């Protein structure tokens, strides 16, 4: 997803967090991400990549969709899901503990980070772009080919309007109502998306998400905005961070700030960005697997 956050969120390292999700008994608030979590339609991101490929001049967009597929399927020589890239230099950076450790050029050859100021803790407002979901992968690869922010935004808007068009058949998970019902018993529901209300409201309405969602935050400016929304919920309802469960597909945008605050987190991780589940309370390959596990999770301490 696109993000407009300009706030740096330093991440502590070497901590054993967040706490595992062993039951739902002490959860009072559930905060969901939208795209890639409650709704996942590859036709929309495919449309986004296709528009960008077609709009680039002098053939610079040729092969963008194939390159995106290579990244997603782990065939790219440099960029991998869960890594960072610096588009202007065309380098990919490994930061397994959110600290830039080593880098390679676009062909996979090692390059130095010593003289460019990229070594050290990754910052949310820095030059590096996280490859945490398909939107981010497409945007970063297009930026490496010279696409500016205005073209990215235009393609994003067109893709969202394509998904919102009534002629585009809605893909709605068969497990969505089941998950919402399972979690809703005595709990407040929040929804946060970085997409503007103009572009995201039609999807929310088509998915029939209001109710049960008490607060829907459009243009949420995650990751910084995610922490802000959690702070608001804590103050308004007098709850502890450990009583908040955050569910999202993008580790960097959706889950690390809440985990840093002490919330429980569930990572829907189809791209395999954190297969060892080091940075979440629970990790699942897809929404269906989460729904199945949720049936077995006790609802009492």
Give pLDDT tens digits for 156-213. 999 999 999 999 999 999 999 999 999 988 899 999 999 999 999 999 999 999 889 9
* 208 and 280 part of one domain: yes
The pLDDT score that the predictor gives to residue 8 is: 34
Q: Which of 291, 272, 268 is nearest to 281 (CA)?
A: 268
Looking at per-residue pLDDT, the higher value among 114 and 175 belongs to 175
State the CB neighbour count (10 A cutoff) for residue 276. 7
- Asked if pLDDT for residue 6 goes beyond 70, the answer is no
Domain stops at, among 108, 138, 164: 164
pLDDT above 90 as % of the chain: 74
String of DSSP letters for 262-286: T-EEEEE-TT-TTTT-TTSSEEESS
* 177 and 35 part of one domain: yes
The pLDDT score that the predictor gives to residue 3 is: 34
Structural domain for 215, as ranges: 29-40+172-296
- Asked if pLDDT for residue 286 goes beyond 80, the answer is yes
The pLDDT score that the predictor gives to residue 119 is: 80
The pLDDT score that the predictor gives to residue 154 is: 98
* 78 and 226 part of one domain: no
pLDDT above 70 as % of the chain: 93
Domain stops at, among 142, 164, 186: 164
Task: Determine which of 3-7, 150-154, 265-269, 275-279 has the lowest per-residue pLDDT on average.
Answer: 3-7
Residues 6 or more apart whose Cβ sits within 8 Å of residue 16: none
Residues 6 or more apart whose Cβ sits within 8 Å of residue 21: 245, 264, 265, 266, 281, 282, 297
3-state SS, residue 245: strand
Mean pLDDT across 131-139: 97
- 7 occurs within a structural domain: no
pLDDT band, very low/low/confident/very high, at 301 (cuts 50, 70, 90): low
Q: How many structural domains are present in the chain?
A: 2
């Amino acid at each position: 997803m696109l993000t407009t956050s300009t706030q740096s969120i330093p991440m502590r390292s070497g901590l054993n967090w967040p706490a595992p999700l062993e039951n739902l008994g002490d959860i009072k608030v559930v905060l969901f991400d939208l795209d890639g979590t409650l709704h996942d339609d590859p036709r929309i991101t495919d449309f986004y990549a296709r528009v960008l490929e077609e709009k680039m001049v002098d053939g610079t967009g040729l092969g963008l969709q194939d390159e995106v597929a290579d990244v997603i399927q782990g065939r790219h020589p440099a960029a991998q899901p869960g890594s960072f890239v610096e588009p202007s230099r065309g380098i990919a950076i490994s930061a397994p503990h959110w600290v830039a450790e080593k880098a390679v050029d676009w062909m996979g050859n090692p390059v130095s980070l010593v003289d460019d100021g990229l070594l050290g803790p990754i910052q949310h407002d820095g030059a590096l772009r996280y490859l945490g979901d398909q939107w981010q992968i497409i945007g970063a690869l297009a930026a490496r080919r010279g696409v500016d922010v205005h073209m990215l935004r235009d393609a994003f808007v067109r893709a969202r309007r394509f998904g919102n068009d009534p002629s585009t058949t809605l893909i709605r998970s068969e497990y969505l109502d089941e998950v919402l019902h399972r979690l809703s018993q005595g709990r407040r529901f929040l929804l946060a998306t970085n997409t503007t209300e103009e572009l995201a409201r039609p999807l929310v309405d088509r998915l029939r998400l209001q109710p049960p969602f008490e607060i829907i935050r459009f243009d949420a400016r995650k990751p910084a905005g995610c922490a802000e929304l959690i702070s608001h919920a804590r103050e308004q309802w007098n709850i502890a961070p450990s009583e908040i469960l955050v569910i999202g597909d993008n580790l960097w945008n959706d889950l690390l700030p809440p985990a840093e605050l002490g919330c429980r987190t569930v990572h829907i991780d189809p791209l395999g960005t954190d297969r060892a589940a080091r940075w979440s309370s629970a990790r699942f390959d897809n929404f269906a697997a989460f729904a199945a596990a949720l049936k077995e999770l006790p609802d009492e301490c």
